[in-house]
Every structure is written in C-alpha cells, then in structure tokens.
Structure 1
Amino acid sequence: MMPSPHPLEQELGMRYYASDAPGIGGRLRVSPADFVVEELPLPISDQNGPHLICLLTKTNWELQRAVKEIAKRLGISHRRIAWAGTKDKNAVTTQFISIYNVTPEAVEQVHLADISLEVVGRSQHPLSLGSLAGNRFDIVIRDCIEDGLPARVQAATEVASAGIPNYYGLQRFGVVRPVTHLVGERILKGDYEGAVAIYIGRAYPRESEEAQRARTHFTETHDARAALADLPIWMTYERAMANHLVANPGDYAGALRALPPKLLSLLVSAYQSYLFNCALSSRIDAGMSLTEPEIGDRLLFENSREDIVSARNRQAALMHVRRGRCRIALFIPGSGQVTSRGPMDEMMQELMIESGIDAGDFERASRFVETAFSGVLRPISLSADVETEVSGADVRLKFTLPPGHYATTVCREYMKADPYMMI
C-alpha cells in the first residue's frame, strides 16, 4: 500500500493507494464527453401507476439543478421528482428519474439545453436512492505521462481487478468545495449556526474571486442581508439560506431546511462517508488486508446476507472472498446501537468517540432532516474488470460498478494525481 501524498485526500480519509506502482498522471474531464456514465436500471415490475419513469440524459448539469429546472418547466414542485443515483456534473450522464402525476405530453414539452427526457414507462412507486443495478463508465484520461504508459496502465488494471480501497470519492464531499461532511458533523452535533456558517462562509481557492469574497465577508460578519447582496446569483442554495435568515434572524435550523430535503440528508450521510474512509485507512495503518478476513470481520454476500468471521469459519470465509461470493465490509454507524464484533468495529468506535458523536446524535439528526440514518455495511474493497486503450498520452477506461461505488476511486488508482485533476 502506498500513502497518498495529497493533503486533500488525507483530509478526507483517503490516505492510501492499493499499489506502490507509479501512476499515469493525467487529467479527467477535459470535456464532459470524456466522462460518460450510463445507469443500469433494475427491472420495472409494473407499468401502471402515477409515477412516470423517464430516461434523463444531461451534459454538464448538476442533478439537483437539472431537477429544479425540469420541475419549473413542468410547473410542479421539484419534490415530485425522484431518482436512483446522483451522477457527476462535468460529464455526460444517462439515468432514470420518476415524476409524480404528470403526462407524457407535458414531459415532451420540456426543452432545456443539454438535457433530454424520454418517457419509458410508469410505476406505482417513485425511484429511491440505490434502486439501480449499477453504472457503466466510459472515461478518457488526457495528458498522461507517456514514459512507460502501457506498462503503468497494465499494472493499475491488475490491481483494480484484485481489489483497491473502496473509498468514497471526492465528489461525495463537494468537488470544488469539499465541505459536506463538515456541515454534516455540525448538524449531528446540533450546531445549526455552525453548519450554516460553513455552508455559506467556508471559501476555497478554486472558487471564483466573487464567491470567495462573499463567503469571507459572511464568515467575518454573519450578516445575511449583506450576503444576499454579495453572493453570486447562481449560488442558489446559499442565497436561499441567507434569504431565510433575513426574514427570520437567528433561525439557523430553518435556514438549513431551506435546502432541498435530499441535499440536507446528503450532508449528514457525507459525515458517515468520512468516517468510513477514515476507518478503512485505519485498517491499512494496522497492516490488515483488504481481502484476507480477520477474526471479527463482517462479511457482506452478493445476496445481502451478512456473517461474522470466527476462528471456526475463517478458512471458509477466505475461500468465499477469493471466489468473489462476498467481501469484507465495514459497518457505518447510525442511530442504532452497535455491538462490536472485531477490530474494525473498534476502530470505528474510536473515531466516533474522538469526534464526540454517538447514536443519539444520529437519532436527533434523523428527526431534524426527516431521514433515517440507520447503520449500513459497505465493502472495504472494490474490484473492477477494466477494459483499457492507450492512444498517445490518452488512456480510455471502460468498466461497470455496483451502486454506490465511485468511478473516480478506480481512476485515482491509475492516476495517483492531485485529486483536483479528477474534477
């Protein structure tokens, strides 16, 4: 395992690569067409019901913004639109959305630049996060290090097939401004003023100078009225929060609730993602393997069955992992009480104690956000059979991943570059 030299990755808990081999460098997303994502849907079990299922193809659109614009054209609340997965902005993405109580004819009248909608069916139920079979990726990494490039690509491909750390990628925390987990931590601690201060006021150097000035001024003054004057018009979420504070001084909880419900819930779950990354790196710190089970490890099988590794079943568990029937998994805590099963659970509990957050905080956040934050198992390793093509200084990668896994996690293993080269 090779430590990451990049401070941002270290801050987000992504402290290791799977191999010590040199990376290919390069840059992702020179154009949106270099990052193509196709959602693989689960079968629609019924073709009747009030939810219209549509195929959404978008280029260089953030999903929440696209949904709001579609809802505006339809004359409905954006809360009537649901989806199974959140896709990248700087990309060409194809995914399914459900729209409640609209007609196909109304959808056909929606015309937005770089967005297309195609009605494909109906359902009794809306789509929900995670209700997809996976995602297929077609990615081009530009301007790679040409010296020994085919050999470097081959080495990374072998590692990706064997298993790499299944980190939550940079986009989980905010691409230009990786603050979602920091805001989520404040919400979990009941510090709503602190959460608003970070969301509106935390500036990052890759933002525009106008945005940085507006954020810095808010940090210094907490003046919501001035923020409304300073914040660029395209910063709609920050402006919505500031507008609420102008009308309701001191109501920081209400300001947070001015955010779309799905975004608000993602802030809290981003902190869970941060805990996962940190605990996974702690396992690597301890010299533990990603693919060789230890006593007390949790196992997650393909059919969602769970098991615990014991002295009695350890050899059988090792065989199952090697044959791809299951993976070692880490339990990400939430509002429920957790019984420690082994060293990974102990590492996670230590992180929770250090952060001053417990199950009660997740329970309170669940009530505040109106979303359940129960614990969940996530595999600690990710493997992908990657089809590659080298053309001069460009490398093309084609692969498929299960839901909730990040293509950039695969790409970083090839590139070993500054994470900002992947946005």
Structure 2
Amino acid sequence: MRESHPIEQAVGIDYAVSDADGIGGELRVDPEDFRVDEIENFDAEPLDADPGAYPEILLRATLRSWDTNDFAARLSDALDMSRERVSWAGTKDKHAVTTQLFSVSDGDPDAIVGLDIRDAEIDVLGRTGRPISFGDLHGNRFEIRVRETVDDAGDRVSEITDDLRAFGGDSDSGDGIPSDDDNGDSTVVWRSKLVRPAAVRQPATDYSRGRAAYRSRRVA
C-alpha cells in the first residue's frame, strides 16, 4: 500500500488502498460537481391518514448549497415553528446538490407544499408516526465530478476501482466515467454508493411506536 499524504496521516489515515497514481484535477468547482442522494429506508402513510396516529409530515428536499442544519432552521422559520420539530436522518455537504428526507412534527402539508425557499425543491411524501432519525437512512449514492484531470484518468480510475473492490469486496465501489466538460477539459464523473451496515439501521415499519414518548418531549 502507498503511504498517504501528510495531511491524511495527521488524521489517522496512514496508507492508501491503491498503489495507482491519482488523476489530478479539481473538485467542487460548482455545487453540481458533488451530488448526494439518500438511499431511503423510511416509508410513509398517505397524507389522509389519521393525524393523531401519524403526526409527522415526511418530505423529500433537493437542495443546492444548503447545510442541513441551516435548511432545517430556514424550513422551521418559514413554517413559523420551533426548529426542534424538524428532523432528518443524516447531514449533508453544503457545497453540493443533495437530496434527503426530513420530517416535520404536526406540520401542515399544504403550507409545506406552498413554500418558496431559494435553491430548494420540496416534495411532500406522506405521514409517519414518529420523526425520521439516524438509522432510518439505508445509505447514500454519490456522483462526483473531477475537472481538468490527467489524460489517462479513465485508465487510472479503472485500476483504482479494481483495487477498492479487491480490498472491500463490495461490488458497489463505483465507476469513473471519462468525459469532456463544456470547455473541452478532461473530466471524470465518479458514481458510487455507500450503504450503512444493517446493524445500525432501524426498521422502517411500525411508525406509531414511540410516538407518545416523542410527543411528551416535543417543543411546541
């Protein structure tokens, strides 16, 4: 294995899995160069389900250049409610385009649909019996664009991918696709997914369980 960069060593990463040369280039020139979509593990009941049994409104938001906490605060402000009534399963990068689930306690679906928040597209999915939380996320799917790479980046990516699969034994280690951007510069788009181990996932069923305990601590 190749020794890692000194900065990586400073945070405990001593070696790189692959001995292949890197591809050079620039990351995150634009937010669209780094896309993250949640692999969802949390279903919803229809919106006309009993609000008493299913008080949470589940929504999917596609965000551009939004920190998860900042968006939750903006969402709660727009709905004139406490930030504590907005929940999510995992935080996401700000300098990116991300798609993720949120739940809003005792929210008004019509009010949520009518929101106009910059660089945010919101789809209301239905109702659940408890707020979404860590463990309800199956994983994340990534699409990463690297601009101005070396000419043989495609071959290097293939070698690196083979090394990652040999090391991790995961068929979802990803693939790099060489292409040219609008300026004719060489780029590589890397698509992969990271799945959370089953041991830390929560079952996506029985949404009424724990509702009373949650509602007793809810901040109005």
TM-score range, shorter chain: 0.7 to 0.9
Among 147, 153, 174, the alignment partner of 1:386 is: 174
Is residue 4 of structure 1 aligned with residue 17 of structure 2? no
- Corresponding letter in the other structure for 1:4: S
1:138 corresponds to 2:143 = yes
User: How far apart, in 1, do the equivalents of 2:172 and 2:40 lie?
Assistant: 19
SS in 2 for 1:150: helix
**What CA distance in whole angstroms lies between the structure 1 residues aligned with 2:187 and 2:6?**
23
- Give the whole-Å Cα distance in 2 for the aligned partners of 1:19 and 1:83: 35
Aligned position for 2:205: none
For structure 1, the residue ranges without an aligned partner over 5 or more in a row are: 165-323, 325-381, 405-423
- Structure 2 residue aligned with 1:87: 92
The residue identity in structure 1 corresponding to 2:177 is E
Cα deviation, 1:303-362, whole Å, max 9, x if unaligned, reads xxxxxxxxxxxxxxxxxxxxx6xxxxxxxxxxxxxxxxxxxxxxxxxxxxxxxxxxxxxx
Are 1:126 and 2:131 matched, yes or no? yes
In 2, Cα distance between equivalents of 1:78 and 1:383: 39
Counterpart mapping for 1:25-104 below 5 A: 25-44=24-43, 46-47=45-46, 48=49, 49-104=54-109
C-alpha distance in structure 1 between counterparts of 2:89 and 2:69, whole Å: 13
Contact 2:60 2:101 in 1 (8 A): yes
Q: Secondary structure at 2:148's aligned position in 1?
A: strand
Greater shift after overlay, 89-98 or 21-30? 21-30
Matching residue's letter, 1:120: L
Aligned length: 186
Note if contact 1:163-1:383 (Cα within 8 Å) is conserved in structure 2.
no
Distance apart, 1:149 and its partner CA: 2.2
The one-letter amino acid of 2:179's match is S
* Deviation at residue 20 of structure 1 after TM alignment: 1.6
Could you give the per-residue CA deviations for residues 157-196 of structure 1, whole angstroms, max 9, x where no partner exists? Answer: 11122236xxxxxxxxxxxxxxxxxxxxxxxxxxxxxxxx
Q: Is the 8 A contact 1:160 1:386 kept in 2?
A: no
Provide the rounded CA distance (Å) in 2 between the counterparts of 1:94 and 1:13. Answer: 30
Answer yes or no: is the 8 Å Cα contact 1:162–1:383 preserved in 2. Answer: no
Superposition deviation, residue 98 in structure 1: 0.4
Structure 2 letter corresponding to 1:394: T
Task: Please say if residues 81 and 100 of structure 1, whose CA atoms lie closer than 8 Å, have aligned partners that are also in contact.
Answer: yes
- The SS at the match of 1:388 is strand
SS in 2 for 1:76: coil
Separation in 2, partners of 1:77, 1:43: 23
Alpha carbons of structure 1 residues 88 and 73: separation in structure 2 relative to 1, 3 Å: same
Give the aligned CA root-mean-square deviation in angstroms.
Answer: 1.9
Looking at secondary structure, tell me which structure has more strand per residue.
2
Q: Using the alignment, how far apart are the partners of 1:14 and 1:72 within structure 2?
A: 40
Letter in 2 for 1:13: G
Amino acid at match of 1:151: D
Q: Does the aligned pair in 1 maintain the 2:148–2:187 contact within 8 Å? A: yes
What corresponds to 2:114 in structure 1? 109
Q: CA deviation at 1:132?
A: 1.4
Larger RCO, structure (CA 8 Å, separation 6 or more):
2
Q: CA deviation at 1:383?
A: 6.5
Distance across 2 between alignment mates of 1:135 and 1:158: 21
Structure 1 CA distance for aligned equivalents of residues 139 and 190 of structure 2: 17
Letter in 2 for 1:396: V
Q: How does 1:144-163 map to 2 (within 5 A)?
A: 144-146=149-151, 148-163=152-167
Kindly, what percent of the aligned residue pairs are identical? Answer: 35
Q: CA deviation at 1:397?
A: 1.1
Quote the Cα distance in structure 2 between the aligned partners of 1:403 and 1:10: 25
Larger radius of gyration: 1
Question: Could you give the per-residue CA deviations for residues 18-55 of structure 1, whole angstroms, max 9, x where no partner exists?
Answer: 02211112222111111111111114264440000001
Q: Which runs of 5+ in 2 are unaligned?
A: 181-185, 198-220
Q: Give me the TM-score of the superposition, normalised by structure 2.
A: 0.78
Change over 3 Å in CA distance of 1:135–1:43 after alignment to 2: same
